[in-house]
Structures are given as C-alpha cells and as structure tokens.
Amino acid sequence: MQWIGGVVFPLIIGVASFVLVVRQSYGLGGFVGLVAAFLHFHYFWGLTEKYGAVSLLGKNIAALGVILCFA
C-alpha cells in the first residue's frame, strides 16, 4: 500500500497535473499537483513512525496550498 498509494497513484496524478499546466490551466494544474503531493506525504511517509514529522510537514504545506487554490 505504501508504494501504490504513495508513489504510483501520485505519479499518475502528477502527470495529469503537468498536462494541465502545459495546457495553460494553471489553477487546476496546481490544485491537482498539490493533491498528488498530499497523497504522497500521507501514504509514503506517513505509514512509518520514523518519518512522521516529514509526513506532517509535507501534508500541512500541501493542504495550505490547496486552501490557497480555493481562495
């Protein structure tokens, strides 16, 4: 689950984000990229106790970016 939810799925979403940015839909592309980053930090770094601080910091930054995309 760590590699599928934390690397493969966010990578697919990240490619979609890149396509949106290339097509000049910057707001939606940024939002989708931040969602991919949130999923990466939650599932890849968050499933081990050793890297809990990294997971928390990354998720907070990604969540702040998502909130700013809505503003």
- The pLDDT of residue 14 is 96
Full domain range(s) for residue 33: 2-70
pTM above 0.95, yes or no: no
* Cβ atoms of residues 60 and 27 within 8 Å: no
- Provide the domain count of the chain: 1
* Cβ atoms of residues 62 and 43 within 8 Å: no
- The pLDDT of residue 48 is 87
Residue identified by tokens 């970016």 is 65
- How confident is the chain (71 residues) per 10-residue block, as mean pLDDT? 92 96 94 96 92 95 95 83
CA-based torsion, 56, 45, 63, 21: positive or negative: positive
